[in-house]
Amino acid sequence: MSRELGSTQSRAMEVDPEETVDALCVAYRHDVHKLFGRNHGSGVDVFAGVAVNEQVPLGADADAALLSRPAGEPEQTVSNHASPRRLSLVTGSTPGEADQLGVGDAVTVFERLVVSSDAERLHAQWLTSTVPAAFNESVFYPYTSLKFHTLLVAALLDNYRAGHAFEDLSLVATPGSPVALDGGVDAALDADDVVPHRTVCWTPVLALHVTGDPGDRPSTRLGEFPARSFADVWSRLPEHPIDVGSSREARLLDAQLRRIRSWSTALQYVEDATRGVGALSQWGESYA
């Protein structure tokens, strides 16, 4: 048994079920400082009346980071982009969502991502908002996504609290839903294909879930310990919710996901590709 697996497994067994809601709210609030372009040491302790930037229990934040970034001392990977704004794999530039908001509007959006005491609503907020996708999870790795790092943190924490070790977890792929494109928070809360905290990507094309309870849905194990392994895991899925024979965009999406190793980068690529970012058409539309 690896050191990483052993530590994760012991953390999963020490959980107190009575703390579930509060701990999951911490997961959705733990990186608020990055929305303001600050490092953890200079972040505020309270935002919009709630505690933020707290340590996530059970090591879920550290494990989620290993899914998308290398361990050890970080190095700048894009020399001319030391910025908290994410670079898109689709366009090669920064998304415009945050730039299009005024200061007051931006703060309102940020508040919606953290203020609710209902952890399931916070999950739906992060799952459907495009604003946190404008930021990376580390300025050293600008193609990563703060949005999907946060969703991965919450998914790991929810599974660890349920007694699952990392080695128990699987990626589950299911068909998407048309309402995922612009249905918003209430649509996500009502959707049968959204599993609270464990759905990490919800699009019109496919939904992806990280869970220790895959049931009979198409799934494959994540591995023994957290690593940048998305391409490998995606390639092992026994069934895919997208028909690669149906269109050029389906083949392009599948091909790219077989190459992208960083989890938050891959999940963000799914969202960008299916929303029609840059030169890509919105899913279902023909290419020009």
Q: What is the per-residue DSSP string for 127-147?
A: HH-SSGGGB-S-TTSTTS-HH
- At residue 196, does pLDDT exceed 90? yes
| Residue carrying the six token digits 């959705």 | 28
Per-residue model confidence (pLDDT) at position 101: 56
Lowest mean pLDDT segment, chosen from 42-46, 142-146, 160-164, 223-227: 42-46
The Cβ of residue 93 has, within 10 Å, a number of other Cβ atoms equal to: 12
CA Rg value for the chain = 18
Residue ranges of the domains in the chain?
3-69+84-275
Q: How far apart are CA 48 and CA 61, in angstroms?
A: 22
Percentage of residues in the chain having pLDDT higher than 90: 56
Residue 125 · residue 185 · CB < 8 Å? yes
Per-residue model confidence (pLDDT) at position 264: 98
What number is the average pLDDT over the span 187-209? 96
- At residue 197, does pLDDT exceed 50? yes
Per-residue model confidence (pLDDT) at position 7: 38
Q: Which residue has the higher pLDDT, 224 or 96?
A: 224
**Phi and psi for 88 in degrees, rounded to 5?**
-90, 135
Q: How far apart are CA 81 and CA 87, in angstroms?
A: 9
Residue 164 · residue 12 · CB < 8 Å? yes
Token duo for residue 240: 């895919």
- At residue 256, does pLDDT exceed 70? yes
Q: How far apart are CA 259 and CA 230, in angstroms?
A: 8
Q: How far apart are CA 36 and CA 99, in angstroms?
A: 12
DSSP conformational letter for 57: G
Q: How deeply is 223 buried, as exposed, middle or buried, from its count of CB atoms within 10 A (0-12, 13-18, 19+)?
A: middle
- At residue 111, does pLDDT exceed 70? yes
pTM of the model: 0.87
Q: Which residue has the higher pLDDT, 89 or 227?
A: 227
Exposure string of 147-179, with b = 16+ CB inside 10 Å and e = fewer, is bbbbbbbbbbbbbbbbebbbbbbbbbbbebbeb
State how far Cα 1 lies from the chain centre: 27
Q: Which residues contact 109 (CB under 8 A, 6 or more apart)?
A: 101, 129, 131
